[in-house]
Structure 1
Amino acid sequence: MSINDREIIGDTPDFSALADEDGNEIIKDLTSRVNSISVQEREAGLHDIHGIGGIDDKSTGEEQVLVNKMRLLLSERLHWRSSSAFRMADAESSAYTTDSSFLLMFLRCENYNIDAATNRLFVFFKQKLRLFGPNKIGKKMITLADLSPDDMKSYSAGFFQLLPHRDHVGRAQFVNLPHYTTWDQRENVVSRFVVEWTGSGRTADSYSIVGAHSKLRMIFHLCMAALMDEETQKKGAITVVHSLLSESSEPRNPKGYDPVLIWESIHMLQKAIPLRFVGTHICTDPSSFSGKFFSSMARFVGDAGIVRIRFHQVSFHEVNERLSTFGINSILLAVSQSGEKKTEKHRELMKVIKSIEVAKLLTPEKLTVLVPSATDVLLGRGKPIQNHAGNIRLGLIAESQLEEYDEIANRLDKTKLAEITMAKMKNAGVRFLSRDDNGFWELAAERLARERVSSTFRTVRDRLKVSRRSTEEKADSTVARKRSLEKLEEQSD
């Protein structure tokens, strides 16, 4: 069945028997399904979850050719039933629906498969219409200001967070904390309304929007906010479902999961949001209700998705070590060692997102970065910046050129070496970022970036001098102690 014949959510599975199922048996069934998938599909999934795979590398020119082809395909499919929401948005703002940067999100998500990208785009607008209504379907960017008070409560609760750092290969990291969620059925709005739209020469299409859930809206918004970073579009994202409890934690919502809502979330992320979720890690106790629940939910994921799921049936204190084998660092940033949910970083990120949204409205073309990549060099002070992978790499580059730097006597020539080093790094795709007063990262001024390279040369030189001096002092001390011992031995003889 083609996607234009499907409903937005599709047939909802029967979840009535979830609590009675055996978690270990479910995982055996999932393993059997994985083994039935072709070798090529399994390899692609393994590459993705371990960070080896990725989308095809395209030049700017190649991407623009594909964008133009996608625009042509969109015009050819306007008669499809599934394009009705897209037509509504296009009638309101064709500049938005055919914008190159917008279409590129869908192309990159589908590894530049134009047909799949077009289908995803149609489902995206169906979801957007369902969640936010006709008044916002033609709006290019849904902002925090568009969310209701209930939406913001779900947001601030932090049960679904974007972590403020990337994994070892630069992928965005989301964490879902189901034990800390209150599934309030009152949040499922019971209002219903129908929107009529008639295109030129076309029949009217009807949209019935029922129970647009606040949690779905906040997930939609957070994922689209993450996609403001081009690196996330290209490298994708991973999700960690952390439903383990520490020994000191009190059980929360042992049977409080809303299966229909989670099913809708999975469907939205799989079919509509233009974000490649290349790996899902489910950390749970198989004997608990949550273990059975999430194992069962995994069965409703397509075969390609099954390969990209890993179950970690370990203790609360072992999960971080297990995740580190997949290059996921400090995932417990959102959960304290005592098992308490942490939302400080999440709320800080919400403030940064709000600042970026304001900046984008004022200057749409301005580069704003929500979560820096591992290759970026960050300007500023403090250990988090010093320990950032891009800054460490800059230090290693400076150390490799230190002999040349020390041989230069003229200060102006030292500055030129710093400029050459900076230019080479930029040509290799490195960005020098400084933090805006509002908290987000932006391209640093040329002068500030050059000064960071120069100061790195000086810092590395001074550090090596101190290290050499310390080594020499230790050697002198060792020699002195040895001589003292030899004198004592001579005296005793």
Structure 2
Amino acid sequence: MLDDSLWDTFLWDDYFLTDEDVSDTNIKPDEDESKSAEIFSVPVPQNASDPESAASLIASQMAKLSVADREKAYNDVHAIPDDFVKETPELIHNSLWGLQGEIDILPDKKAYSIAEQLNPTYTQDRDFRLAFLRCEKFDCKKAALRFVRHFQMKLDLFGQDKLVRDITQDDLDADEMEILHLSNGRFLNAHDKAGRRMNMIVMVNKTYRTDSCLRKSFYITMAVCREIEIQRRGLVNVSIQFGNEVKGTSADNLDLVWKLPKQNQAIPLWHSAIHLCCTKGAWESHYAMVKTALDKQSQVRCRVHCCDTILECLEELRGYGIDPSCIPVNNKGEITDRIKDHKRLEQQRRQERLRYPTPNMIGVPFCEDVLLGKGTPFQIHRGNKKLQQFVADRYKKYERAQKGAKKAVAQEIINVVRGNGGLFLKQDGNKWVPVTDDVALLKVAALFRYLRLKNGKK
């Protein structure tokens, strides 16, 4: 296996593998260079979970790099700051034209063509395209392939009706929202010494469907890719596995283990460094598949930290420009800031509601939503309880108002709910549908009538 000492001295060694060194593996090192837009259908190589084959694959990729590229990979892994591409107006103009030219000659771009027909304003958005160019250091050919892969993956995960709009929490179903609120995979509000944002993945003791995990991962990644500094600098991924049993954890899904790294090939963000942390035990095969599934640029920036405890693993990260105190896990590998992260997700969803048009269907109600229906689940919902308080606070004003002015008081309450990011929803099967203001007014008026009866008035 490619151990730490070899990795750390690789930059200075004249080390190249011979054909004999890699003849015993069935993994194709340049498989990620395929021009296909479909990334999830790539078959799992026969030796994908073999640690020795994965190590040989990464060593062969490293040997193919030029001296300059090896130095760049070494610096990226060790958080040594590097200048990113200077973006002049001429470079941006020429690159955007070049990107379109490369897209035009790609043979496999069915999903992109559908998106272009549905909403060319979305597909041709300048800032959106620049994110893909920055990810590939303004290499138009690579950016074009990543761009069409993005639409193919989005079509596969969310369907055509969501292909040409940004994905929000309203698009996630109950399982996906549960995974999101586990806080086990998310971008931290922390950076390494090179100023790169960090993404944390922590395995949890529960398994989920592959498609649910991929949709949740797509959402959180695209939610941060608007940040220009992330587009320019890339991100640092820290994956944490704990315990000696893979079975029963979120890693106990080989389909997901293979596909999740593949998703990176269709997202406008690149990995500056990948750190796989685990306690000594049963994770070698798991991490071998992860490393095999990565694209070759990520493979040579991947490090494994295998120690007796999670805290020892995290302490090793200091040598790579990462302060372990930024990683919110304890010595058992448990997340320590879940409540804080839940509040962050609520704020993020509130901002999405205020920024984007109201969707036709919603998977899981927001805490600020008012649910129309009868029974305890509706009464105890946070949004319904807040509405009751809004009505109580304005009861006297409503009573004093003339008949024509009562509607304005009720509308004022609706506006407050909407201003907080809330909607009035009715259930439709396993989905929720926003209602019109006229229906919402009836709900508010009914609460005022209830208070009147409660106060002994007819």
Using structure 1 for the length normalisation, give the TM-score.
0.60
Determine the C-alpha separation between the residues in 1 that align with 2:98 and 2:278. 44
For the pair 1:290 / 2:288, whether they are aligned, the reply is no
Determine the C-alpha separation between the residues in 1 that align with 2:201 and 2:250. 16
For the pair 1:128 / 2:164, whether they are aligned, the reply is no
Partner residue, 2:271: 277
Determine the C-alpha separation between the residues in 2 that align with 1:348 and 1:244. 26
Determine the C-alpha separation between the residues in 1 that align with 2:149 and 2:85. 24
Compared CA separation, residues 47 and 359, structure 1 to 2 (3 A): farther
State the Cα deviation string for residues 190-213 of structure 1 (Å, max 9, x = none): xxxxxxxxxxxxxxxxxxxxxxx1
Partner residue, 2:122: 96
Contact 2:246–2:283 (Cα < 8 Å) also in 1: no
Q: Tell me which amino acid in the other structure corresponds to 2:329.
A: V
Partner residue, 2:342: 347
Determine the C-alpha separation between the residues in 2 that align with 1:106 and 1:42. 23
Within 5 Å, give how 1:21-420 maps onto structure 2. 25=52, 29=56, 32-33=59-60, 36-38=63-65, 39-51=67-79, 52-53=81-82, 55-60=84-89, 62-74=91-103, 76-77=104-105, 80-139=106-165, 141-178=166-203, 180-184=204-208, 187=209, 213-245=211-243, 253=248, 257-269=252-264, 271-286=265-280, 288-314=281-307, 315-330=309-324, 333-342=327-336, 343-361=338-356
Q: Name the SS for the 2:191 alignment partner.
A: coil
Q: Name the SS for the 1:162 alignment partner.
A: strand
Compared CA separation, residues 236 and 5, structure 1 to 2 (3 A): closer
Contact 1:55–1:108 (Cα < 8 Å) also in 2: no
Compared CA separation, residues 438 and 175, structure 1 to 2 (3 A): farther
Determine the C-alpha separation between the residues in 2 that align with 1:231 and 1:174. 14
State the Cα deviation string for residues 208-244 of structure 1 (Å, max 9, x = none): xxxxx11100100100011121111111101111113
Determine the C-alpha separation between the residues in 2 that align with 1:302 and 1:318. 28
- Aligned residues: percent identity? 23
Using structure 2 for the length normalisation, give the TM-score.
0.64
Q: CA deviation at 1:14?
A: 4.8
Q: Tell me which amino acid in the other structure corresponds to 2:181.
A: S
Q: Tell me which amino acid in the other structure corresponds to 2:100.
A: R
Q: Name the SS for the 1:7 alignment partner.
A: coil
> Which 5+ residue runs of structure 1 have no aligned equivalent?
189-212, 363-436, 440-493
Determine the C-alpha separation between the residues in 2 that align with 1:345 and 1:331. 16
Determine the C-alpha separation between the residues in 2 that align with 1:163 and 1:255. 20
Compared CA separation, residues 97 and 256, structure 1 to 2 (3 A): closer
> Which 5+ residue runs of structure 2 have no aligned equivalent?
1-30, 358-418, 422-458
Determine the C-alpha separation between the residues in 1 that align with 2:324 and 2:84. 26
Determine the C-alpha separation between the residues in 1 that align with 2:46 and 2:180. 26
Q: CA RMSD in A?
A: 3.0
Within 5 Å, give how 1:452-463 maps onto structure 2. none
Q: Tell me which amino acid in the other structure corresponds to 2:56.
A: D
Q: Tell me which amino acid in the other structure corresponds to 2:270.
A: R
Compared CA separation, residues 30 and 122, structure 1 to 2 (3 A): closer
Q: CA deviation at 1:48?
A: 1.9
Match of 1:7 among 38, 43, 50: 38
Q: CA deviation at 1:37?
A: 3.0
Q: CA deviation at 1:8?
A: 2.8
Determine the C-alpha separation between the residues in 2 that align with 1:346 and 1:53. 31
Compared CA separation, residues 17 and 83, structure 1 to 2 (3 A): closer
Q: CA deviation at 1:182?
A: 1.8
Determine the C-alpha separation between the residues in 2 that align with 1:15 and 1:158. 33
Determine the C-alpha separation between the residues in 1 that align with 2:164 and 2:62. 44
Contact 1:171–1:235 (Cα < 8 Å) also in 2: yes
Aligned length: 325
